Amino acid sequence: MKCEACQNRILALEYTPEPTEELREHLASCAACRTAQKKAVKLDALLARLPVPSSQRAKAKLIASLNDQLSVPSSKVPAYRQWMRSPLPGVAALVVLGIGGFFYFSKKQPQPELAEKPRHELLNKELGNVVKLARADSAPDRLRVWTDWATDLRGETRDLYKVAPAEELSSLARMYERAVNEGIVKQATRLPEHMDAEEKQKLLQAADTKLAEGVAEAERLHGEAPPQAQKYLKQMAETSREGRRKLEPILKGV
Amino acid sequence: MLRRVTSNHDTDALPPDEETEAILAAQAGDRTAFAKIVSAHWDRLFRWLFQMTRDRHRAEDLTQETFLKALVALKTFRAGSNFRAWLFRIGHNNFVNLKRSQRRTTAVLPDDAPDERGQDDPAATAEDRETLAKVQAAVRALPADFRAALLLRAEQDLSFKEVAAVMGITEETARWRVFKARQKLVQLLEPENEARP
């Protein structure tokens, strides 16, 4: 075996779980390749030690929320529980938003007690939306829920943009983007063909109007926002604009 | 003699049988079983996503999202197959989506992540810390696709086949990316190592 081939194999991590006889023999007789192998091992050791900040608090909060928030007795909210057991694609993103919202707000206040249940209004709204979405058994209904949810997120942004730190606004902007793209736009594309044209148009028009309001509002707030908020307001305006662009051909097709 | 040093970040890792049991229970709707799965896989997933995003808050957000998407899609997972690879695939998709959305809004992933050197093992020597900082900087400088493949293989100990599945690439491409990334990083260690006996 040539040194180059040996060292390439070492670099390619081809030597696990056990080195081949050929490789072993070459290493036994070649100091240069043994050095290369030592370097590779050292590199692995260093990679395993790359520093990472602690995320134990976020981990504990998610676990606590799974144990507390999501384990709602089935007799109280059967639809919700039922939903939790069935993977619905549209709902998935909303749950993410919901718990994301919880974390977003939980970051704002010190919460040393892990057992403390999240009670923030946004989380409650989220869970309400999850239930609504679980009960929505058609694309039009889901489109309405997502449109309301996107509007709620805009409201939260409006309340917070002057005081919230950048990372929180970033979370809100991402949540909004998902509500628009994975919610409104996706459901709009799934509206049934046999749906009454007038009703369809009305529904899409309502979503489009909300997005248009989203563009105007984010641009207006941008003008008076502190520097750390401007980027995210711009992002939200662009999300709304992009959502409208995607809705346009669907609306025209009605 | 050639055993690779593998990382050990599964602070709450479950033995395979217990993991399968927890997955089956979670698939049947048991949320506390899913909480156990979160506990077992959080550290590794967060670690990888932190190296990808270089931002703690984003990595936390992505980790949470990944678990919640996994929760909702859990029924599609075949118990007994590699849960970690499946989970990391969801995490990778989340990361790609994040990057895509940031590209659209002209923002970029932060390259100014806080310097974590201060959190090193206190027992490590100054020289070790320096080398580690060098490797850290070099890992951060790798293109995201190469960094992802390298860390999945070298740090998370996934097979090339699993790395390929996580990243939606061929096994050959996964091998190539890991190889090139390691080649670059080893070169970085070279002068220092040669100076040592």
Distance CA A105, CA A118 (A): 9
Q: Give yes or no for residue A30 having a pLDDT over 50.
A: yes
Report, as an integer, the average pLDDT of B73-96. Answer: 89
Read off the CATH number of the domain in which B150 is found.
Answer: 1.10.10.10
Residue at B6 is within a domain: no
Using CA coordinates, name the residue in chain A closest to B147. A47
3-state secondary structure at position A129: helix
* Residue B24 predicted with pLDDT over 80: yes
For residue B50, which residues of chain A lie inside 8 Å, CB to CB?
Answer: 52-53, 55
Asked if residue B132 and residue B66 are part of one domain, the reply reads no
Q: Let me know if residue B197 belongs to a domain.
A: no
- Mark yes or no for CB contact A55/B60 under 8 Å: yes
* R_g over Cα of chain B: 18
Our count of domains for chain B comes to 2
| One domain, residues B101 and B156 | no
Residue A203 to residue A143: CA distance in whole angstroms: 8
pLDDT of residue B26: 87
CB B110 within 8 A of CB B144: no
Are B19 and B78 within one domain? yes
Residues spanned by the domain of B44:
13-111
Domain end residue (candidates: B111, B131, B158): B111
Q: Are residues B19 and B106 both part of a single domain?
A: yes
Q: pLDDT tens, A179-234?
A: 999 899 999 999 998 889 999 999 999 999 999 999 999 999 998 899 989 999 99
- HEC string of A48-105? HCCCCCCCHHHHHHHHHHHHCCCCCCCCCCHHHHHHHCCCCHHHHHHHHHHHHHHHHH
B123 and B104, same structural domain?
no
What pLDDT shows up at residue A124? 54
Share of chain A above pLDDT 90, in %: 31
Give the per-residue pLDDT at A110: 40
**Confidence band (pLDDT; 50, 70, 90) for B105?**
low
Residues B98 and B38 in one domain: yes
Smallest CA-to-CA distance from B91 within B20, B142, B156, B137 is with B156
How far is Cα A134 from Cα A80, in angstroms, rounded to an integer? Answer: 6
CA B166 to chain centre: 11
B90, part of any domain? yes
Statement to judge: residues B107 and B142 lie in one domain = no
Are B164 and B186 part of one and the same domain?
A: yes
Q: Are residues B102 and B131 in the same domain?
A: no
What is the per-residue pLDDT for A48? 85
pLDDT class of A128 with cuts at 50, 70, 90: low
CB contact under 8 A, A59 and B153: no
Q: Do B98 and B138 belong together in one domain? A: no
Cα(A102)–Cα(A100) distance, rounded to whole angstroms?
5
Predicted local distance difference test score (pLDDT) of residue B72: 77
Q: Does B5 reside within a domain?
A: no
pLDDT at B190: 57
Select the residue from A14, A49, A57 to test the B interface by mutation, using most B Cβ atoms within 10 A. Answer: A49
List all residues 6 or more positions away from B81 whose beta carbon is below 8 Å from its beta carbon.
Answer: none
Which of B90, B111, B132 terminates a domain? The answer is B111
Measured in Å, how far apart are chain A's first and last C-alpha atoms? 69
Same domain, B126 and B53: no
Q: What is the pLDDT confidence band of residue A17, given thresholds at 50, 70 and 90?
A: low
> pLDDT tens digits, residue range A57-80?
888 888 887 776 444 333 333 333
Q: What is the pLDDT of residues A107-127, one digit of tens each?
A: 444 433 333 333 345 655 665
Cβ contact B119–A35 (<8 Å): no
Last residue of a domain, one of B61, B85, B111: B111
Q: Is residue B91 part of a domain?
A: yes
ipTM of the complex: 0.80
Cβ separation of B2 and A27 shorter than 8 Å? yes
- Is there a domain that residue B140 lies in? yes
Which chain B residue's Cα is nearest to A101?
B61
The pLDDT tens digits of the residues spanning A137-151 come to 789 998 998 999 899
Domain residue ranges of chain A, discontinuous segments joined by + = 3-48, 57-135, 137-254
Instruction: Give dist(CA B54, CA B52) in Å, integer.
Output: 6
Q: Of A78, A230, A92, A237, which Cα lies nearest the Cα of A162?
A: A230
Residue A68, pLDDT score = 64
The answer to whether position B3 is within a domain reads no
pLDDT value, residue B155: 83
pLDDT at A233: 95
Tell me: pLDDT of B1 over 80.
no
